[in-house]
Amino acid sequence: MKRFAQLLELLALTPSRTRKLNALTQYFREVPDPDRGYALAVLTGALTFRNVKPALLKETVLAEVDETLFAMSYDYVGDLGETIALIWPHHGAEGDLPSLTDLIELFNTTSKSDLPKLIAGLLTQAGINERWALVKLATGALRIGVSARLAKTALAEMSGVDVQEIEEVWHGLKVPYLDLFAWLEGKAGRPDIDQSARFHPLMLSNPIEDRDFEKLDPREFSAEWKWDGIRVQLVLGGGTVSLFSRTGDDIAAAFPDVVENVHGLGVLDGELLVGRDFEAGSFNALQQRLNRRVASPKHLRESPAFIRVYDMLFDGREDIRALEWTERRRRLEAWLAANPQSRLDLSEVLRFSGWDDLGRQRRQGAESHGHEGVMIKLQSSPYVPGRPKGYWFKWKRDPNVVDAVLMYAQRGHGKRSSFYSDYTFGVWKGNEIVPIGKAYFGFTDEELKLLDKWIRANTTAAFGPVREVKKELVFEVAFDSAQESTRHKSGVALRFPRISRIRWDKPAAEAATLEDMAVFIGAT
Amino acid sequence: MATQILDRNLHIRAIDAYIDPSVPRERAIITHGHADHARSGHKAVLATPDTIAIMKVRYGEDCAGSFEALDFRVPYRIDDVTITFFPAGHILGSAQVLVEQSGQRVVVTGDYKRLADRTAQPYELVECDLLVTEATFGLPVFQHPHPNVEIARLLKSVADQPERSHLVGCYALGKAQRVIALLRDAGWDAPIYLHGAMLRLCALYEELGVPLGDLRPALDVPKAELAGQIVIAPPSAIRDRWSRRFPDPVTCQASGWMSVKQRARQALVELPLVISDHCDWGELGQTIHETRAETVWVTHGREDALVYWCRKQGLQAEPLNIQGFEDDGGEGESE
């Protein structure tokens, strides 16, 4: 565990990507199986424990530490894991912790009732750095600035195998990755994964910039609506069906109405939506189904789900990702014709004469149907996992904006701990300001410092971690849509709100009113 | 009542004197030389000889109308009030102020630490009725490790990466000299290179009897010679253009705040060294108990938590919220 804790600390504190990569490569080279495989699982977020959760850690600590002092400390430190590691009051004769493998084994095999005692013992036994790493391991929130991609890049550097090849097999592998390391070290062949029956990393789009249009020939592109659902991959194994989210999580259990009613063989890419007769309902309804791991009868009845498909990765068992989009689309249409489906429909391809025409359609689509924007795809593009440049673009509708007044601020977490970076803002209702939403991004680090300073200087009251401020600072808040809500006193809730500008110059009296908000509700 | 002797802005009523005032006053009693305690422009200053020397070096010979030097443990009587300084162990010359009137005792700690440090006169416990304590590290997450452990980590990093130079961010007064002394005591005999801002104060410490070994200005030393060396600079300089003259520098910072890794990350510190010149949480509580004070006023830092803790112990306690002190300490001078 000591070695792993040192690795985590170095990764957390070294700003240089090269140095991080070197440290990872060295670790994977020098540490034996299965420790290195478990480390890889921790770094890529592939490891979860059934009973070891942040709440259990917190409960263990609160048995030893005053709750108020813990809350004050957490507010100050801004990271639950780090707070626990720093505040733990008992320090034994610092012995070595068990190995990473043994620790994970202990976490998985210790009964729920014995876990607090186990964890307390380990916390006491560990030195400060191992304690920090132990808590990171147990809470699963690393927050050390290392992506799964970086870990895989280190594997590629260590072995000379292309990182794309590693991505290809990744989702078929099992922790602690013995076959992966054997392959990378040339001791065994490439792990044998059933290529058609597993998750395949998705192809993502880039936002289009105004200056892109002059470089792009509209005749080489196709366009579709940008659907307001969630991106999914449907893997039909001929008898088995898997439904994966964008990140590769299997969400089939939440959508039995889809999974039980699809058939055929192939891997499809599309948007999961809710609604009857392929008429997409609100994102809110979908959100409610997503929030449940298992679907309720009420949801199945009132918000049936379907998938609007727009691409095909495997036709039957044939990998067609290297084919051009036009050909994949032809295959997809033919496949749907041969396999008629009650829960799948096809995303329409828009006709347009040029970028101006498409821009007009995008505006009309947003105004009359609430479409999020359009997707633009190079007709000759292969299906490339990740976010390749130049193939797929998203052209989002212009956001709605409203001038709102800052009401409360709260300290951020992680990278922004200690800064007041979470903002609640509101609009006028008669003579008072009522909250309509919260946002914590959309500003630069420089602006954050200025905001933090303004908040400290203009605090009128503090409630625990929350500061109430003078109702004087105006934000231009951008948002995708507004809906009625009981969560806020104003009766309005914003979807995807973010700060688009800080209006240092604008008097609060000129901010929007609740009546102004009415036009946005029901507009989508 | 002890609480009648002193106002909540540390104004001693009977003699109209302020302790560490943040604006110019007729009479000021200065606990130590850090800028958030010692300011220029007071008419009459009472302080320890070392603190006066530090103030004169930092602000100029005539930074106060007049100075009166008072040695530790020597009672100084004005009307019916007696002032006595006791070492606070924070930096060279740092003092706690004991104020006595009508048999009541008030101690204003200034900044203080309990751990031995050969660059400061060692802390002495003073019993009192009212304790005015700092709370820079007044949260139970602050449990400072022994500084020797941290110095050993620095020296290991230097040994492991001989091709890089180690830039240690330290406040120029107190922390820099303490880190140098700790390095010397750990056997680091090589020259230690200094940022220009450190030179005068290190020279002053040596004049006042704190030997620091071979110190050299970092300016104009050829880049290659600084590989494997230790350089001491103010925290602001280690992230500045100034640091580019060093070969592939390891950015270090010596401060009690460095125990919070997220803070170290924010500050782009690659090797955080948890070396503090203040009490940690345990030492604050221990001190409050040992002074046997029945009333505790808390200032300078995370007052809320320490006040809460005192009240749970059955003590009278309140925060002072004095203007002019850093809320979050991040940029404050003393850590």
> What are the DSSP calls for A147-170, one per residue?
-HHHHHHHHHHHH---HHHHHHHH
Q: Which residues of B touch A9 (CB under 8 A)?
A: 261
End-to-end CA distance of chain B: 34
Residues B133 and B162 in one domain: no
Same domain, B219 and B153: yes
The pair of structure tokens assigned to B23 is 């604006």
- Are the beta carbons of A38 and A181 closer than 8 angstroms? no
- Rounded-to-integer distance, Cα A349 and Cα A352, Å: 10
pLDDT tens-digit map of B198-212:
999 999 999 999 999
With a cut of 80, say whether residue B327 has pLDDT above it.
no
Structural domains in chain A, CATH included, are 206-396 (3.30.470.30), 400-517 (2.40.50.140)
Nearest C-alpha neighbor of A445 from the set A429, A425, A421: A421
Give the nearest partner residue to A12 out of B143, B261, B327, using CB atoms. B261
For the residues A241-260, what does the mean pLDDT come to?
88
Q: What pLDDT, on the 0 to 100 scale, is given for residue B330?
A: 41
Q: Which residue did the predictor score with more confidence, A86 or A237? A: A86
Lowest mean pLDDT among A79-83, A161-165, A266-270, A473-477: A161-165
Question: Does residue B265 sit in the same domain as residue B283?
Answer: no
Report pLDDT for B71.
98
Question: What pLDDT does residue B323 have?
Answer: 59
Instruction: State the best of B259, B262, B323 to mutate against chain A, taking most chain A CBs within 10 Å.
Output: B262
B165 lies in the same domain as B239: yes
The answer to whether B141 contacts chain A (CB < 8 Å) is yes
Looking at the structure, tell me whether residues B299 and B230 fall in a common domain: no
* Pairing assessment for the beta strands A474-479 and A498-503 based on DSSP bridges: antiparallel
Within-domain flag for B324:
no
Mean pLDDT calculated for residue range B154-181: 96
- Give, to the nearest 10 degrees, the angle between helix A115-125 and helix A100-109: 160
Residue A7's SS3 state is helix
Full residue range of the structural domain in which residue B293 is found:
2-141+277-319
Contact across the interface for B266 and A415, Cβ inside 8 Å: yes
CB contact under 8 Å between A13 and B271, yes or no, is yes
Report, as an integer, the average pLDDT of A175-194: 91
Q: Which residue has the higher pLDDT, B328 or A25?
A: A25
Helix (H) or strand (E) holding A295: none
pLDDT in tens, A413-459: 766 667 888 999 999 999 999 999 999 888 888 888 889 989 988 98
| Nearest C-alpha neighbor of A8 from the set A214, A192, A146 | A146
B188 has a pLDDT exceeding 70: yes
In this prediction the pTM is 0.76
Separation of alpha carbons A72 and B163, rounded Å: 42
pLDDT of residue A524: 41
Say yes or no to pLDDT of B318 above 60: yes
Is residue B162 a part of any domain in this protein? yes
Mean pLDDT (whole number) for A370-395: 93
Average pLDDT in the A328-346 region? 95
Residues 250-289 of B with CB under 8 A from A: 259-266, 268-272
User: Over 60: is that where the pLDDT of A176 sits?
Assistant: yes
Whether A356 shows a pLDDT value over 80: the answer reads: yes
Q: What is the mean pLDDT of residues A3-10?
A: 95
Minimal C-alpha gap between A15 and chain B (Å): 7
Percentage of chain A exceeding pLDDT 90: 58
pLDDT in tens, A271-290: 999 988 888 877 777 878 87
pLDDT in tens, B28-71: 999 999 999 999 999 999 999 999 999 999 999 999 999 999 99
| B269 and B281 inside one domain | no
Let me know: does B298 contact B307? Beta carbons within 8 Å: yes
- Look at residue B300 and tell me if it is in a domain: yes
Residues B17 and B66 in one domain: yes
Q: Are residues B165 and B244 in the same domain?
A: yes
Arithmetic mean of pLDDT, A340-349: 94
Average pLDDT on A72-84 reads: 91
Same domain (yes/no): B155, B204: yes
With beta carbons under 8 A apart, name residues in chain B contacting A417: 260, 262-263, 266
Q: Residue B221's CB: how many other CB atoms inside 10 A?
A: 17
Statement to judge: residues B21 and B121 lie in one domain: yes
Distance from CA of A89 to the nearest CA of B (A): 8
| Domain contains B330 | no
Average pLDDT for residues A58-80, to the nearest whole number? Answer: 93
The single-letter DSSP state of residue A126 is S
Query: What residues of chain A lie within 8 A of the CB of B263, using their CB?
Result: 417-418
Residues of A in contact with B309 (CB under 8 A): 66, 69
Task: Quote the radius of gyration of chain A (alpha carbons, Å).
Answer: 26
B117 or A522, which is more confident = B117
Would you place residue B104 in the very low, low, confident or very high pLDDT band (cuts 50, 70, 90)?
very high
Cβ pair A182, A188 in contact under 8 A: yes
Please write down the long-range contacts of A331-335, taking CB distance under 8 Å and 24 or more positions apart: A332/A268, A335/A264, A335/A266
The full 3-state SS of B21-87, as one line of letters, equals CCCCCCEEECCCCCCCCCCCCCCEEEECHHHHHHHHHHHCCCCCCEEEECCECCCEEECCEEEEEEE
Q: Mean of the pLDDT values across residues B104-131?
A: 97
Task: Give the other-Cβ count within 10 Å of A368's Cβ.
Answer: 9
Instruction: Quickly tell me which residue has 């304790």 as its tokens.
Output: B131
Mean pLDDT of the residues in chain A? 90
Answer whether residue A195 shows pLDDT above 70.
no
Q: Are residues B31 and B116 in the same domain?
A: yes
ipTM: 0.94
Other Cβ atoms less than 10 A from the Cβ of A322: the count is: 10
Partners of A456 on chain B (C-beta within 8 Å) are 327
From the list B141, B268, B327, the residue facing A73 with the nearest CB is B141
Best of A18, A67, A69, A70 to substitute, by most chain B Cβ atoms within 10 angstroms, is A69
Residue B333 pLDDT: 45
pLDDT band at B243 (very low <50, low <70, confident <90, very high): confident
Rounded CA-CA distance B137/B156 in Å is 27
Give the total number of structural domains in chain B. 2
Mean pLDDT score of chain B, rounded to an integer? Answer: 93
Chain B residues inside the 8 Å CB shell of A69: 139-140, 305, 308-309
Question: How close does chain A come to B141, measured CA to CA in Å?
Answer: 4
Does B333 reside within a domain? no
Given a contact cutoff of 8 angstroms between Cβ atoms, the answer to whether A143 and A414 are in contact is yes
> Averaged over A27-37, what is the pLDDT?
96
Name the pairing type of β-strands B250-254 and B271-273.
Answer: parallel
Residue A1, H or E segment: none
Question: What is the pLDDT averaged over residues A58-78?
Answer: 94
CB-neighbour burial class of residue A433 (10 A; exposed 0-12, middle 13-18, buried 19+): buried
Query: How far from A263 is each of A198, A339, B65, CA to CA, in Å?
Result: 16, 7, 92
pLDDT for B335 equals 52
Average pLDDT over residues B230-252: 88
Give me the pLDDT at residue A292, please.
Answer: 76
User: What mean pLDDT is predicted for residues A60-78?
Assistant: 94
Residues B151 and B127 in one domain: no
Any idea what the CATH number is for the domain that residue B9 is in?
3.60.15.10
Q: Is residue B326 part of a domain?
A: no
Task: For an interface test with B, give the residue of A77, A142, A411, A413 to mutate (most B CBs within 10 A).
Answer: A77
Q: Is residue B325 part of a domain?
A: no
CATH number at residue B207: 3.40.50
More confident residue, A431 or A93: A431
| Residue of higher predicted confidence among A462 and B112 | B112
